[in-house]
Amino acid sequence: MSIFLAALLLAPGSAGTSYLTATPIDTTRPVQVSAVTGDYLYWSFPATAGQQPELTAKVTLPPVADRHGYQAWTIEVFDGLRRRQPCVAGEQSPIVTNDATEVALGCKLRQVRSWAEPSDQDPLPGTYYVRLSSTALPEQDLGLPLKADLTLTAEKGDTGADQGKLAAPLNPVNRPGTVMTETPTPAPSSSATPDESWASDLVPEFSSRWVWTASGGFLAAIAGLVGFSFTRRRRRA
């Protein structure tokens, strides 16, 4: 019993088994879960415009003696609409030989943009899903115990290159649907309604553009003074 309790206390995290049950994670603390080979592990995390989320995972594989061949692992990231997001850096799909004891995976996303055309696949603010799984492994190696560690970091980049704002972040809908039998009443739902005042629409968020524009104005004022002094000097001469 005591061993069991200890095991419970030591279990520092969990993972979901589908998009709907994905376990939320954040940047503050890494997660470690026990699972078995063949499991599909799902996590979800929020991202805001300007962030560049990066995931690093480490899978401690089952004992070498129990395994029979190569394993291909993959870490995949999907946005709130379950659209695949490409990784721009990191070892996304490593293949390990049967003498490896662990496998390291990583995926760095593109910088999350504040707005994109509806037909674009650009990363947008909202929920992201992570799926850690093995895409190929010997059939007899299914179901063996392993440990998976996942760390999320989200470096805040500059949003200066972006304009526009998404009306509502890409969050999943968490309620069962209803089939409508008659003409629907206008009831625009939203998974999250942003409560923004007109001021935030008018004044752009802080970015490098503020620095460039302000310093430009400062330099222009100095240049104005310099220009003025040219004319003064010429008069004295």
Residues 67-126 that bind other proteins (CB under 8 A): 72, 78-79, 81-84, 115, 117-119
Give whichever of 89 and 142 is closer to other proteins, judged by the CB atom.
142
The C-alpha R_g of the chain, in whole angstroms, comes to 26
Q: Output 198 or 228, the one with its CB closest to other proteins.
A: 228
DSSP 139: G
Nearest-approach distance from CB 117 to other proteins, in angstroms: 8
Interface positions, 149-168, toward other proteins (CB under 8 A): 160, 163-168
Compute the least distance from the CB of residue 170 to other proteins, in Å: 7
Distance CA 102, CA 184 (A): 54
- Tokens 């721009």 found at: 88
Is residue 200 involved in binding other proteins (CB under 8 A)? Answer: no
Q: Judged by CB, which is closer to other proteins: 100, or 144?
A: 144
DSSP 8-state symbol, 63: P
- 3-state DSSP assignment of residue 218: helix
The Cα 151–Cα 160 span in angstroms is 27
> How many residues touch other proteins (CB under 8 A)?
88
Give the nearer residue to other proteins in terms of CB position, either 112 or 153: 112
The stretch among 47-55, 96-104, 149-157, 221-229 that binds other proteins (CB under 8 A) is 221-229
The Cα–Cα gap between 90 and 56 comes to: 8
From 26, 29, 88, 140, residue interacting with other proteins (rule: CB under 8 A): 140
Supply the minimum distance, in Å, between the C-beta of residue 63 and other proteins: 10
Tokens of 130: 């992570």
* Residue 197 contacts other proteins per CB under 8 A: no
The binder of other proteins chosen from 9, 20, 199, 237 (CB under 8 A)? 20
C-alpha 91: how far from chain center: 16
Residues 17 and 39 sit within 8 Å (Cβ to Cβ): yes
Q: For residue 135, which of 101, 105, 90, 100 has the smallest C-alpha distance? A: 105
Closest to other proteins by CB, 102 or 158: 158
